[in-house]
Amino acid sequence: MNARSVIVIEDDPFPRILQVILDPRASAERRDAFAHFMAHDVPDFAGWCDETRARVPALYPADIRLVNTQDELRANLPDATAVIVESLTIGSAELALARGSSMTCRMRGKGSSSMTMTERAFIVPPAPALRRRSRAPAARACACCRCRSAR
């Protein structure tokens, strides 16, 4: 894997935590906001981030790119090592752009309705559909997903 992985994430409140954990360029304001948000579940948020980074050395540091629209997603796909989306579409056109991507996660209910099984088969390993969770478990689910593909 490259020295600095590019992870494209749909800008959604919970997956944003990956920016705080994996991208050293994340703003202090965002780090402080997540530390405050997670204080009841993870009292030592900075320590937890350090511990998480130590478990995924192939992913840190990463260039986390938050996208809001389908056009922003497509513009960032050629450089992507991994993609995490919730409502944006991953279809044939996006897969053609994301040739270097080794993992695509969908943070959505029980299925990945905007990605057909054929399209999912082009991703190695196949793209899992993850149920949306809150707080630290969401970050762990995303990181674990990506860690498996980094090995």
Number of domains in the chain: 1
For position 146, what pLDDT does the model report?
54
80, 8 contact by CB (below 8 A): yes
Give me the domain span that covers residue 103: 5-146
Whole-angstrom distance, CA of residue 44 vs CA of residue 28? 16
Integer-rounded Cα Rg, in Å, for the chain is 15
DSSP sequence for 87-135? SS---HHHHHH-TT--EEEEESSSS-TTS-HHHHHTSSSPPPEE----H
What are the per-10-residue average pLDDT scores of the chain (151 residues)? 79 91 96 95 94 91 96 94 86 82 59 45 45 54 56 50
Domain CATH number, residue 118 = 3.40.50
Residue 116 has a pLDDT of 44
Question: Is residue 151 domain-resident?
Answer: no
Q: What is the pTM of this model?
A: 0.70
pLDDT of residue 45: 95
Looking at residue 94, its pLDDT comes to 87
H or E stretch at 10? strand 5-10
